[in-house]
Structure 1
Amino acid sequence: MIGKIIGAVVGDRVAKQTRGVGGPAGAALGVVAATAIRRLSLPAMVVLGAGGYFAKKHFDKRNAENEATTPPATSTAPHKAKSAKSAKVA
């Protein structure tokens, strides 16, 4: 019982930092995660942890590459038109 309460609190806090997940949904995910972790074997936990680590590194690297190629929002440089149709003004 205490594990489910702790999982719900942690899930709620994670949900506040995550876009697209509300407080009650985060609490429910925390309870489900605590139950799933209890039932997993040690090798499965290691594989899930390693997979999460490498997925985060991959997404962080991809976001860094996108930020490096995108001009800042405060830039005064003109935007390049993607095609001739988008350059026309109606």
Structure 2
Amino acid sequence: MIGKLIGAFVGDKIAKQTSGVSGASGAVMGVAATTLLRRMSLPAILAIGAGGYLAKKAVDKQQAKSGSGDTRPPATSTAPKTS
């Protein structure tokens, strides 16, 4: 019971920092995550963690290749530069 409460609290806090996820749905995901982790074996948890790490690296590499990771603001003027 305490594990579910902690999972709900952590899920709520993470949801507040993530766009598109409300606090209540984050709490539900936190409870579901703690329940699933309790029922999974250690090799399965490690495999999921490694898969998530590799997927994130692949997405970051794809974004770097496509140039969508550019953090410069867009140009707001089309007038020629005057120096």
Change (3 A) 1:77 1:64: farther
Cα distance in structure 2, aligned partners of 1:71 and 1:43: 38
Cα distance in structure 2, aligned partners of 1:77 and 1:57: 35
Partner of 1:4: 4
Segments of 5+ residues of structure 1 without an aligned counterpart are 79-90
**Partner-residue secondary structure (3-state), 1:61:** helix
Partner of 1:22: 22
Q: Which moved more, 1:11-20 or 1:27-36?
A: 11-20
Q: TM-score, normalised by structure 1?
A: 0.72
Partner of 1:44: 44
Segments of 5+ residues of structure 2 without an aligned counterpart are 79-83
Identity of aligned residues (%): 53
Change (3 A) 1:63 1:18: farther
Cα distance in structure 2, aligned partners of 1:73 and 1:47: 39
Paired positions, count: 77
Partner of 2:68: 67
